[in-house]
Chains A and B, each alone.
Chain A
Amino acid sequence: MLEIIRVRKLWKGEQIVDEDSKKSNMSRRKFIRNSSYAAGGLIGGGIIGSLIGTNYFNDTEQPSTRSSKESNFNRALMFFTRQSDFQILSAATERIYPKDDQGPGAIELGVPYFIDHELAGAYGHNEREYMKGPFLEGTEYQGYQTPLKRHAVFMTGIRALESESKSAYDASFVDLEGEQQDKILKKFENDDVKLHKVSSAYFFEMLRSATISGTYADPLYGGNADMDAWKMKNFPGSQMTYLNKIGSEKFIDIKPKSLNDHIS
């Protein structure tokens, strides 16, 4: 019970800053305890196996400056089964919304996790869209018709990004230079890549819109970490009232609020 309360508290925006070091220690202890447990039974395979050699164990004495990240249990995979697919997706979203001198890009904002989580749910499974056949090709005004659900379109597209990369540069998409990645993404955008039962342009549009959604959606969905995307855009998020501000001649820079602020 105690554990749950502490974790909940850590998710509460501003309190985190004050309790930064405390929290870091706690989550680190918890992580080690959990991993020892897992390691006892499963070392050599699965998650723990794949973590060896990564930097997960190298941050022992370095309290992070970005407080919410370390305890962000939300950042794990719900839909993708291969981390390699997820990394290709991540690299692609970062080209669509890159880190620059204004602030973080898609990866730092958590957009790839947003997309992974959305693909596991109603969005990925087109639960509220008409998916009955027959699926026929129409005119350019009738909307795209594909029997593939979004999760399948993403998988098809991501694997194709990788195979295009291998055939053009003999390297994985994630290892390419940014401009090379852009060239491949443009081929998809221009519909120059042939995919099974879906057009590459349709996949690209979906990738683009999902990236923008994850960037700017309320942080409750796993992207827009620390509301940083809103801060870059000077968007105040979820404010209860502008009644006394809307008449202002001057632009008012307001510290953003998220839906988390409205949970009582």
Chain B
Amino acid sequence: MAKKLDKVEAVTVGVGWAGGIIAAELAKAGVKVVGLERGNDRSTEDFQMVHDEYRYAIRYELMQDLSKETITFRNKPGEKALPMRQFGAFLIGTGVGGAGAHWNGDTWFFSPYDFEIKTMTDKKYGKNKLPKEYTLQDWGITYKELAPYYHQFERMAGTSGELNPLRPERTEKYPTPPMKDTPILKSYMDAANRLGLHPFRQPSANISEVYKNPDGETLNQCQYCGFCEKFGCEYGAKSSPNVTVVPTALKTGNFDLRTHANVTGIIHDGNKATGVRYVDTQTGEEFDQPADIVVLTSYTLNNTRLLLQSELGRPYDPKTGTGVIGKNYCYQITAVATGFFKDRFNAAMGAGALGTTLDDYNNDNFDHSDLDFIHGGSITMKQLGKRPINENGAPSGTPRWGKEFKKESIKWFNRSIPVTSQGASMPHKNNYLSLDPTYKDAYGNPLLRMTYDFTEQDHALYDYITARCADILEEMGAEVVEPKELTDHFDIVPAQNDHITGGVIMGADPETSALNNYLQMWDVDNVFVIGASAFAHNGGYNPTGTVGALAYRAAEGILKYRKNKGQLVKRETSNKLV
């Protein structure tokens, strides 16, 4: 029997960016919050041995323990889904800070086009630009409404960057100046300028100078040590929940952080949640934590799974198109071309978000009238800091092992660099999340089943954007330029992109969305679901900035709900599905 604990006002499931922001904002306002985190606690001190590629980037020290839970995967409905037995295509974080501890630090804000994509696409290209199988919809909020929360997130995170010439709607400067320039990035910028494009230094959470945020937390200056992605920062120079919102929340005395607490269900009485059940992962003991407000702040996949498992909200059915939980699962289309150069550059030096980007082929910044896709992607060259186990690239035709492999992979290590795109991903009716009928997690609950494949839109976007990545490398004077091909179908094995979105999406209409624009569930007033799970599609940038903005917006919503109860947003129900 689960032990029943004393009731609290709010409980968060997961303590990453979303959970940390909610904890900080609620705790500062005097609300008692319990943060339940299945992983362990972490601070800067835990990263003293972090320059270890094998431990962190190969064996995935900071990622979810898949022996306890994973997902099952299939390309299309009708196939038998099988477990993702080890990490491949994408990674899932765990522990205090979540993905915010191991992220690269790309801090973007989605475009005005993203939030009103259905309306704007229909208006410009007509109603049939994409076939009806694509479940494209607006987000129920505009860029203008969300902008203040973006800035709030950036001020907390100390984001470094400069203004994007193709995003004139933003005039507010970044809290800190852009990161250092490097010869290879300068060469990229010069080449892009010669091509008539609009490059700029990308926004970064690897902070360019010492910064004190409005909550009084200090971020240090990035040292360009080259260990960001999949690693924590030993300097506290990468904005993460661990050095910002979590300590802010703890300082108030109102935040009770409980680690090794794996939530297995939301307890509810009809359409009202009464708390959550969790297992202590070290002892196996079960607890019921009653709460007035339940806030799901775990990763995209687990937010969706907890709702399905707890039978909260209406599960999506791809056959009828009805229901919402699990709907509009999207990925990110990672177009990439690699340039091999004659001269060596200092490839090991770098930082996760040290890069130069251009938006000329992103959003609706270029005319899609004669193209068979919508949207696009930011195109970036990043000097991440190359590491030797993962980086053995050589021009194609080079053997994968043996004498030639050794010679060529050594030769090109300091001479090659990719240009990559965070390509937008549009929802399709057959790409969705549901519960698996066969496979179970360590606690006997069903795994989440992912049904996902690349669409024609994805292939067209990928090919077009990859060619643009290659154009810039050619202009830079690379000896060899190699665009990478997209696999015919989505493959769960090769590493691709960790930006997975959807499943519990926001919108204006309760028939087609799970959440209102405060990320409050339409069907359950006292449950808020925060994360990239709320994205109605995935845009052409890394998602964290938008997750952060939505979390600040949700925090405001939760405080409003605390006073007024009920739904915070008026329903705009369409007639068709009632």
Residues in A lying within 8 Å of B, measured CB to CB = 95-98, 100, 102, 105, 122-123, 126-132, 134, 136, 138-145, 182, 185, 208, 211-213, 215-218, 220-221, 229-230, 232-243, 245-249, 251-252, 259, 262
User: In this assembly, does B367 line the interface, its C-beta being within 8 Å of a C-beta of chain A?
Assistant: no
Q: Which residue of A lies closest to B226 (CB)?
A: A242
Our pick among A95, A127, A243, A247 for the contact of B223 (Cβ within 8 Å) is A243
B389 at the interface (CB under 8 A from A): yes
Closest 9 CB pairs of A and B: A238-B51, A217-B54, A216-B388, A242-B349, A241-B223, A251-B344, A130-B70, A96-B401, A242-B224
Mark each residue of chain B from 382 to 395: 1 if its CB lies under 8 Å from any CB of chain A, else 0: 01001111001000
Q: Taking the complex as formed, is B406 at the interface, i.e. its CB lies under 8 A from any CB of chain A?
A: yes
- Across the interface, which residues of A come within 8 angstroms of B407, CB to CB? 100, 102
Interface CB pairs A-B, < 8 A, 6: A100-B407, A212-B389, A235-B388, A239-B226, A242-B223, A247-B182
Q: Of A141, A220, A230, which contacts B489 at CB under 8 A? A: A141
Give the Cβ gap from B390 to chain A, nearest Cβ, in Å: 9
Q: In the complex the two chains form, is B52's CB within 8 Å of A218's CB?
A: yes
Q: Quick one: closest A residue to B71, CB to CB?
A: A130
The 0/1 profile, CB within 8 Å of A marked 1, for residues 161-202 of chain B is 000000000000000000011110000000000000000000
Task: Flag whether B65 is at the interface (Cβ < 8 A).
Answer: yes
- C-alpha gap A246/B206 in the complex (Å): 15
Instruction: Determine if A123 and B59 form an interchain contact, defined as CB atoms under 8 angstroms apart.
Output: yes
* Contact assessment for A128 and B65 in the assembled complex, using a CB-CB cutoff below 8 Å: yes
Verify B388–A230 contact, CB threshold 8 A: yes
Q: Is the CB of A246 within 8 A of B388?
A: no
**Sample of 15 more A-B contacts, CB < 8 Å, known A128-B65, A141-B492, A234-B413:** A102-B406, A105-B406, A129-B67, A130-B84, A138-B80, A139-B74, A139-B75, A142-B74, A217-B53, A233-B414, A239-B51, A242-B225, A245-B349, A246-B383, A248-B346
* B residues lining the A interface (CB < 8 Å): 48-49, 51-54, 58-60, 65-67, 69-70, 73-75, 79-86, 88, 180-183, 221-226, 343-346, 348-350, 383, 386-389, 392, 400-403, 405-407, 410, 413-414, 438-440, 487, 489-493
A100's partner among B86, B88, B406, B413 (CB-CB below 8 A) is B406
Set B54, B70, B226, B439: member contacting A213, Cβ < 8 A: B54
> Whole-angstrom distance between the alpha carbons of A139 and B345 in the complex?
41
Q: CA of A262 to CA of B49 in the docked complex: distance in angstroms?
A: 8
Q: What separation, in Å, do the CA atoms of A142 and B70 have in the docked complex? A: 13
Tell me which of B58, B75, B383, B439 contacts A132 (CB under 8 A).
B439
Which of chain A's residues have a CB closer than 8 A to the CB of B66? 128-130
- How long is the Cα–Cα vector from A139 to B383 in the complex, in angstroms? 36
CB neighbours of B402 from chain A (8 A): 95-96, 98, 182
Give Cα A249–Cα B410 distance, bound, in whole angstroms: 21
Of B60, B410, B413, the residue contacting A102 (CB under 8 A) is: B410
B70–A235 contact, CB under 8 A?
A: no
Is B88 touching A143 in the complex (CB atoms < 8 A)? yes
Q: How far is the CA of A233 from the CA of B181 in the complex (A)?
A: 24
Q: How far is the CB of A153 from chain B (nearest CB, A)?
A: 13
Contacts known (A127-B67, A138-B82); A243 close to B224, Cβ less than 8 A: yes
> A134 — which chain B residues lie within 8 A by C-beta?
438
**Selected contact of A246 from candidates B69, B221, B350, B491, CB within 8 Å:** B350
Shortest Cβ distance from residue B346 to the other chain A in the assembled complex, whole angstroms? 6
Given A141-B489, A246-B182, A130 contacting B225 (CB threshold 8 A): no
Question: How far, in Å, is B64 (CB) from chain A's closest CB?
Answer: 9
Do A132 and B225 touch across chains, with their CB atoms under 8 A apart?
no
Distance between A142 CB and nearest chain B CB, rounded to angstroms: 5
> What residue in chain B is nearest A210 (Cβ atoms)?
B58
Residues of chain A lying within 8 A (CB to CB) of residue B48: 262
| Residues in A whose Cβ lies below 8 Å from that of B83 | 130, 132, 145
**Once the chains bind, are B49 and A246 in contact (CB under 8 Å)?**
no
Q: How far is the CB of B282 from chain A (nearest CB, A)?
A: 16
Q: Are A259's CB and B406's CB within 8 A?
A: no
Assuming A127-B67, A247-B180, A251-B346, is B51 touching A100 (CB within 8 A)?
A: no
Once the chains are docked, how many angstroms separate the CA of A251 from the CA of B347? 9
Q: How far is the CA of A241 from the CA of B346 in the complex (A)?
A: 13
Distance A14 CA – B79 CA, assembled complex (angstroms): 58
Q: Give A258's nearest chain B residue, CB to CB.
A: B51
How near does chain A come to B451, taking the closest CB pair, in angstroms? 12
CA distance A124 to B79 in the complex (A): 31
Determine if B84 and A143 form an interchain contact, defined as CB atoms under 8 angstroms apart. Answer: yes
Residues of A within 8 A of B182 (CB): 246-247
C-alpha spacing A67/B85, complex, angstroms: 42
Q: Which of A98, A245, A251 contacts B414 (CB 8 A)?
A: A251
> Are the CB atoms of A247 and B414 closer together than 8 Å?
no
Q: Which chain A residue lies CB-closest to B183?
A: A249
Given A130-B83, A262-B49, A212–B67 Cβ distance below 8 Å? Answer: no
